[in-house]
Amino acid sequence: MIFLLKLLLVPSLIALVTLAGRRWGPLVAGWLSAFPIVAGPILLVIALEQGATFAASASANTLLAVLAILVFSIAYARCAHLGMPRAMTAALLTYALAVLVLTSVSLPLWAGFIAVLVALLLAPRLFGPAPAQAAAGKPAGDLPWRMLAGALLSLSVTFAAASLGPRLSGLFAMFPVMSTVLVGFSHRTSGPGFAVALLRGMVNGYYAFAVFCVVLSSSLSAQGIGPSFLLATIAALAVQLGVRWRIQRHSAKTLRAAA
C-alpha cells in the first residue's frame, strides 16, 4: 500500500497540474503545484514508515526548505533567457547551496514560519523582468515522461528518509520535484516566459504550503498521523483559496483602473 502511494500519487498529481496549466495557464498551474501535493505524500509516507515524532521534525525542516525552493525559483527566473539546461543547472546548484546553509541553521517552528513568510513577500521582487510568453502551441506528448520523473524523485526521497534522518529527509521532501519536472518540460515546450510565469504562480501557493507544515509539525505528536494530516490539509486549503481570492480581487482592481 505504501509503495503504491509512493509510485502513483505524485505522478498523478503532476499529470493533473500539467493539464490545468494547458487549460488555464501557467499562473494557475503554478498556484496549484505549490500546494503540498508532492511534499505532503512524501511526509505521509515518512510518518507511516518512521513514526509521528520523526515526521514532526521532518515537517518542521520541510517548512525551512521553502527558503531553498525560493532560491531555486529566483535563480531559474534570472537565467531562463539562457535556455532550459543552463537555467536548470544554475537553479539546482543554488538550491543545493541553500540546503547546505539550512543544514547548519536551527530555528524554532514559529521563527521559521515568519522567515518563510518574509521570504515569500520579497521573492516576487527578485525575479527580474519576465520573458515574453510564446503563443500557445499544440500540447507536447511529454506527459508520461513528466509522471515518470516525478515518480523517480519521490521514490528516491522516501526510500532515503531513514538513512537521512528527520532533518535532511524533511529538507529533501521539499526537493523541487514540481519545479524541476513542470518548469523544465514547460520551458522546452512553451518557452521561458511560460516557465517563469509558472514559478511566479508557485510563490503564491507556498503560503498554503507553509501553513500545512506548521500545522502538521505542531499537531503530529499530540493528534496522531491521520487527524494531523487532515487538519493540516484543511488549513492549507483554506489559505490556498484565500490567496486565490486576493489575487483575483487584485487583478479585477487593476483591470478597472486601466479601463
C-alpha 55 chain-centroid distance: 18
In whole angstroms, what is the distance from residue 235 CA to residue 240 CA?
A: 9
Instruction: Give the mean pLDDT of 64-87.
Output: 92
Q: Once rounded to an integer, what is the mean pLDDT over residues 210-214?
A: 94
Selection from 177, 94, 188 nearest residue 139 by Cα: 188
User: Angle between the 84-102 and 52-79 helix axes, to the nearest 10 degrees?
Assistant: 140
Q: Is the pLDDT of residue 235 over 80?
A: yes
Q: Which of 198, 179, 197, 182 is nearest to 143 (CA)?
A: 182
pTM for this prediction: 0.80
pLDDT for the residue numbered 213: 93
- pLDDT band (50, 70, 90) for residue 254: low
Highest mean pLDDT (candidates 11-20, 129-138, 206-215): 206-215
Average pLDDT, the chain: 80
75-79, 149-153, 181-185: range with highest mean pLDDT:
75-79
Q: What is the pLDDT of residue 88?
A: 92
Q: Which amino acid is at 238?
A: A
- What is the reported pLDDT for 146? 67
Whether the pLDDT of residue 16 is over 70: the answer is yes
Residue 175 DSSP SS3: coil
Would you say residue 216 has pLDDT above 80?
yes
Q: How confident is the model at residue 171 (pLDDT cuts 50, 70, 90)?
A: confident
Q: How does 15-46 read in b/e, with b if 16+ C-beta sit within 10 Å?
A: eebbebbbeebbbbbbbbbbbbbbbbbbbbbb
Q: What is the pLDDT of residue 142?
A: 63
CA 116 vs CA 68, 98, 151: distances in Å: 10, 13, 27
How much is the pLDDT for 191? 85
Task: Identify the pLDDT of residue 210.
Answer: 93
Question: What are 52's three cell numbers?
Answer: 509521528
Is the separation of the CB atoms in 134 and 193 below 8 Å? Answer: yes
Residues 6+ apart with CB under 8 A from 166: 50, 54, 55, 57, 58, 61
* pLDDT of amino acid 73: 92
Whether residue 139 is predicted with pLDDT greater than 60 in this model: the reply is no
Closest Cα partner for 74 from 107, 110, 66?
66
Q: Are 55 and 162 in contact (CB under 8 A)?
A: no
Instruction: Look at the block and give the residue holding cell 539546461.
Output: 85
Residue with cell 521532501: 173
* Percent with pLDDT over 90 in the chain: 26
Per-residue pLDDT, averaged over 86-99, amounts to: 92
pLDDT of residue 27: 66
Q: Where are the domains of the chain?
A: 2-258
CB atoms within 10 A of CB 94: 19
Confidence of residue 5 (pLDDT cuts 50, 70, 90): low
pLDDT digits (tens, 9 = 90+) for 43-75: 887 888 888 888 898 899 889 989 999 999 999
